Amino acid sequence: MTRIVARPDRLDLDSPGRRDYWVALEHDSVWGDHLLPLTVWVGPEAQPDRGLVAFGSNHGNEYEGPIALKHLLREIKLEDVRGRIIIIPVLNPSAFRTGTRESQGDDGVNLNRAFVDGAGVTPALAGITHRIAAFVRSSIWPRVHTVLDLHSGGDVARFALCANYHPVDDPALAAEIEQTARWFGTPCLMVYQNVTPGLLPSEAERLGKITVGTELGWGRAVNVDGVRYGKQGVRAAAIHQGQLRGEIEPIDYHKAGTQRTLEMVDRDCFTVAPFDGHYEPLVECGTAVRRGETVGLLHDFDHIDMDPWPAVAGVDGVVLAQAWASQIPRGQHIVVVGRDISA
């Protein structure tokens, strides 16, 4: 296999066949390029504005997505491709190389906050992270209708493994998104707030695309089930959206019909640390709790004799996420409880 180094305007994402690229975006500080791995398959039934893209490493310390997508590079056969499939295992190489959430080696920007007006175009937003967003906008969005953005908790939080999405107003699109999310097979589906500016999935949804994210692990480690769910969800979406031939069977919680849909769209779902401290969880993620129930304890070791502060559930529901690293800055969301809206 030959992987070609090419600027975005030299990519061929439309001709029949398979092509493997290093997408070259000019480096901010040295004489060189940031290189994004991109593989595209184009089959005989490809349409100009339809296809599937799957991204890994939007954040650089979340590894289940990149690994699942790297496996699929070997497993997807050109003869089985009907439409267009684009896989980018490492969307943010700067953050990936430093193992950080933001592009710490370069402009320090969080890519999943970089999809804002003027990204990669105006001088104030011309760093590599905003230019990656501009590349996605100019080269990827026009060619796909299905967007899969594979995340994990990194150092921020541990999760009950889930596929996730925002509420959308279009009922038909909402149904497509939910079904695409279910096929990952995860224990939970997370329906989350859509007020954070600059999110990649939010922009894709506004453009009317079938958009699903994930939380497949945490702690800069690799979760066995997370990799399996990632591969399952991407392959199932490609088959069901007419981009890949084949059949696929549901797995795990999807197969058993036991997936829980957890909604966290308002502030009551989030418990905020009122001081710097060290967090001690008392229950596992995925545990059902009642409003006011103590989920964890926040310890202040500068005031060693002070009783720990109880982190309580703000709503009835299921513990969807908790702080992963014990050392907590004031203001961090240390417990997230999702309301169980499963039908």
**pLDDT tens, the chain, 343 aa long:** 689 999 999 999 999 999 999 999 998 877 889 999 999 999 999 999 999 999 999 999 999 999 999 999 999 999 999 999 999 999 999 999 999 999 998 999 999 999 999 999 999 999 999 999 999 999 999 999 999 999 999 999 999 999 999 999 999 999 999 999 999 999 999 999 888 899 999 999 999 999 999 999 999 999 999 999 999 999 999 999 999 999 999 999 999 999 999 999 999 999 999 999 999 999 999 999 999 999 999 999 999 999 999 999 999 999 999 999 999 999 999 999 999 999 7
pLDDT score, position 195:
82
Residue range(s) defining the domain that contains residue 290: 268-340
Packing angle, helices 64-75 and 224-240, rounded to 10? 50
How many structural domains are present in the chain? 2
Q: Both 189 and 309 in a single domain? A: no
In this structure, the answer to whether residues 135 and 108 fall within a common structural domain is yes
- Domain endpoint, select from 224, 240, 264: 264
Burial (Cβ within 10 Å: 0-12, 13-18, ≥19) of residue 213? buried
C-alpha triplet 230, 162, 228: angle, nearest 5°: 25
**Cβ atoms 281, 298 nearer than 8 A:** no
Which run of H or E residues covers position 39? strand 33-42
pLDDT of the residue at 53: 98
Domain edge (last residue) among 229, 264, 299: 264
Quick one: pLDDT at residue 17? 98
Query: CB of 171 within 8 A of CB of 208?
Result: no
**Which of 196, 230, 264 is a domain's end point?**
264
CA distance 266 to 247: 38
Distance CA 85, CA 250 (A): 21
- Secondary structure of residue 253 in the 3-state scheme: helix
Cβ proximity of 300 and 275 under 8 Å: yes
Show the beta-strand stretches assigned E in 62-145.
84-88
Q: Are 232 and 185 in contact (CB under 8 A)?
A: yes
The pLDDT value recorded for residue 180 is 98
